[in-house]
Amino acid sequence: MANTYVNAKVDLTATSVTTLYTCATSTTAIVKSIIVSEDSGNADTITLTLTSGSDVYSIYKTKAISANGTTELLTAPLIVQASEILKVNAATANRLHVIASILEIT
């Protein structure tokens, strides 16, 4: 088994659902951290989901992020299995940046 540390990052420039991270085939990922930063001076909200096949699971639904604030979304590691997808979307465009720290195990 090989362990690789990676990060996934996205600037939410639109309000559409955006892929943050897709777990590769034959890989298990341990998401250690998901940090959200608001950089426009306006409070906003973020939604975080996990897609597995055609099923969508809500992790956070409209989580408040304070103006100019930074929020850690996870209080414990999150396991993401092969082909599962972490997706995010913001209520307002051009306000939120998201960074995930991930350990991939192949």
Q: Measure the CA–CA gap between 101 and 33, rounded to whole angstroms.
A: 5
Q: Look at residue 93 in the predicted model and tell me its pLDDT.
A: 98
- Can you list the alpha helix ranges (DSSP code H) found in 4-106? none
Q: Look at residue 65 in the predicted model and tell me its pLDDT.
A: 98
- The whole-model pTM stands at 0.95
What is the bridge-based pairing of β-strands 18-22 and 3-12?
unpaired
Q: Look at residue 1 in the predicted model and tell me its pLDDT.
A: 72
Q: Look at residue 10 in the predicted model and tell me its pLDDT.
A: 98
Q: Measure the CA–CA gap between 77 and 91, rounded to whole angstroms.
A: 25
- Both tokens of 15, joined, read 């309000």
Task: Quote the number of domains for the chain.
Answer: 1
Query: How confident is the prediction for the chain on average, in pLDDT?
Result: 97
Q: What CATH number is given to the structural domain containing 21?
A: 2.60.120.40
Q: Look at residue 83 in the predicted model and tell me its pLDDT.
A: 98
Range of the domain at 26: 3-105
Q: For 32-70, how does the pLDDT look when each residue is reduced to its tens digit (9 = 90+)?
A: 999 999 999 999 999 999 999 999 999 999 999 999 999
